[in-house]
């Protein structure tokens, strides 16, 4: 599928941008190396050639004429041979690899998201939901004492782990949990720096005899592991966070469920459609075919908040949030996707997935009836900004994914939809379909909003609303 905005909504993602795709190199036409015809002067008399000159003289004359003709033919063939490759370039197809400029490997080893070493890491035990903390310089994972524990800290740790909200927390008696004799603990200490990495102190025991159990909002899991240009049909439940955004009864963009009442999409999808037209929007979740839209009621939208720094010319800060009037009922077909971690390394070449109902061919003008999916590898920003690709158009809030030979990409109608990468068993919303030059064009992969750059903004908007 090629992902992007639909034709009647030019603000949609992946609208073709004038990025100088046209070939400006002039082709050299083979010169017409016409041979000069020289004729031997004839006497007006009727005397035969044999009678006018001796045999040896005639042979020399014929030899000279042959040499001149051969030299002329050879020069003409040489010029035609040298100019032929230039004249053939115009007629070769765009997909011909010989006609595609090869980008340098600059930044090939650069991670898409730079990882900064952390002094304190967190995880939640999947079996008993106990909070476990790893402190730099200490082997193994430590249990967290319940002393000085509070709701705000639980919410902060959930967000550090990529979850949107805290679902439940409590103190658990150590007597109810099997621990080794060598088990160590961490206790919260008061500090003025107010940094989550500076508030932990290693202890051999917990004075209260209780440790922290923590459960965050559910996300990033699908019920089963059950095209976009070059993509294929996606079965129901494979991408349960994928939604279709309808404006005035027409599919405009895609989006992703991040909570029961919150949808993440692209700012360009909604920038021109704010209040009072918010009532014209409907969100359809748990569907893979648009024919099913007639058989279900869409979720009404209460608020639309796009990033205040969104630039509709460069597509910088291309992110928006939709708050639903009524929360979604989660099921096997409707679930939330996890947000990325604050510091997470997704190296170039990581295989991620895009999905949506956009055009399945760049020349098509109708959206796909069935939800499509496709794999796209991440491309380093340094390479994507090179002179043979986007020439510096990408900002730090964008990332690239796709193939240098084209063929698989997001296109019109896919804007706002998810680019998800798997982190162990968890699926994370790494990118939002944003823009690109054409659809599936060689050396012009899809450009996505880098969600990791907007985590604080997302959390702030959801808290304040």
CA distance 61 to 57: 6
CA distance 348 to 41: 76
User: Are 224 and 240 contacting, i.e. CB atoms less than 8 angstroms apart?
Assistant: no
- Helix (H) or strand (E) segment spanning residue 372: strand 372-379
Low-confidence ranges of the chain (pLDDT < 70): 1-62, 74, 76-118, 191-194, 223-232, 273-276, 294-295, 360-366
Question: In the prediction, which pLDDT does 222 show?
Answer: 77
Question: In the prediction, which pLDDT does 83 show?
Answer: 46
CA distance 17 to 14: 8
- Residues 144, 145, 148: CA angle, nearest 5 degrees: 115
CA distance 250 to 281: 9
CA distance 434 to 422: 20
CA distance 321 to 458: 8
- DSSP label of 97: G
The residues carrying an active-site annotation are 268, 318, 415
Closest CA to 130 of 86, 96, 178, 90: 178
- DSSP label of 224: -
- DSSP label of 48: -
CA distance 344 to 354: 20
Contacts of 285 by beta carbon, 8 Å cutoff, 6+ apart? 242, 243, 257, 299, 328, 333, 334
Contacts of 299 by beta carbon, 8 Å cutoff, 6+ apart? 282, 283, 284, 285, 324, 325, 326, 328
Bridge partners, 305 (sequence order): 321
Residue matched to tokens 């070449």: 349
Residue-wise pLDDT for 310-361, tens only, equals 999 999 999 999 999 999 999 999 999 999 988 777 888 999 999 999 876 6
- Helix (H) or strand (E) segment spanning residue 212: strand 210-216
DSSP string, 143-168: EEB-TT--HHHHHHHHHHTT-SSEEE
3-state secondary structure of 355: strand
Question: In the prediction, which pLDDT does 211 show?
Answer: 94
3-state secondary structure of 459: helix
Cα 337 to its chain centre, rounded Å, is 16
CA distance 16 to 4: 9
CA distance 185 to 204: 6
């Amino acid at each position: 599928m090629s992902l992007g905005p639909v034709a009647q909504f030019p603000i949609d993602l992946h609208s073709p941008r004038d990025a100088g795709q046209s070939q400006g190199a002039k082709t050299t036409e083979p010169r017409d190396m016409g041979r000069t015809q020289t004729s031997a002067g004839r006497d007006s008399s009727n005397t035969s050639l044999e009678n006018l000159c001796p045999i040896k003289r005639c042979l020399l004359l014929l030899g000279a004429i042959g040499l001149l003709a051969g030299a002329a033919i050879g020069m003409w063939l040489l010029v035609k041979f040298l100019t032929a490759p230039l004249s053939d370039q115009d007629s070769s197809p765009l997909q011909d690899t010989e006609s595609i400029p090869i980008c340098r490997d600059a930044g090939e080893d650069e991670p898409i998201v730079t990882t900064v070493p952390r002094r304190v890491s967190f995880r939640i035990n999947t079996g008993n939901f106990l909070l476990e903390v790893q402190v730099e310089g200490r082997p193994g994972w430590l249990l967290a004492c319940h002393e000085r524990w509070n709701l705000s800290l639980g919410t902060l740790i959930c967000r550090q782990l990529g979850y949107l909200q805290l679902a439940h927390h409590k103190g658990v008696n150590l007597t109810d949990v099997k621990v080794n004799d060598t088990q160590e603990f961490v206790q919260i200490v008061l500090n003025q720096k107010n940094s989550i990495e500076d508030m932990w102190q290693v202890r051999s025991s917990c004075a209260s005899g209780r440790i922290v159990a923590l459960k965050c909002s559910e996300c990033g899991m699908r019920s089963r592991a059950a095209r976009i240009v070059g993509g294929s049909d996606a079965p129901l439940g494979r991408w349960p966070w994928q939604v279709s955004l309808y404006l005035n009864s027409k599919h405009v963009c895609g989006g992703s469920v991040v909570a029961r009442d919150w949808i993440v999409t692209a700012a360009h999808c909604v920038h021109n459609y704010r209040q009072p037209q918010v009532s014209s929007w409907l969100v359809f979740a748990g569907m893979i075919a648009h024919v099913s839209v007639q058989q279900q009621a869409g979720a009404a939208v209460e608020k639309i908040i796009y990033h205040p720094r969104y630039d509709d010319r460069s597509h910088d800060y291309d992110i928006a949030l939709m708050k639903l009037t009524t929360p979604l009922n989660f099921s096997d077909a409707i679930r939330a996707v996890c947000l990325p971690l604050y510091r997470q390394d997704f190296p170039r070449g990581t295989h991620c997935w895009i999905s949506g109902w956009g055009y399945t061919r760049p020349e098509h003008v109708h959206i796909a009836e069935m939800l499509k999916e496709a794999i796209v590898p991440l491309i380093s920003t340094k390479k994507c900004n090179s002179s043979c690709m986007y020439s510096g158009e990408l900002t730090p809030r964008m990332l690239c994914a796709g193939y240098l030979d084209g063929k698989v990409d997001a296109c019109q109608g896919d804007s706002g939809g998810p680019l998800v990468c798997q982190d162990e068993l968890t699926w994370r919303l790494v990118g939002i379909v944003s823009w690109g030059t054409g659809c599936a064009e060689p050396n012009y992969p899809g450009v996505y909003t880098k969600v990791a750059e907007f985590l604080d903004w997302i959390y702030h908007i959801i808290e304040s609303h």
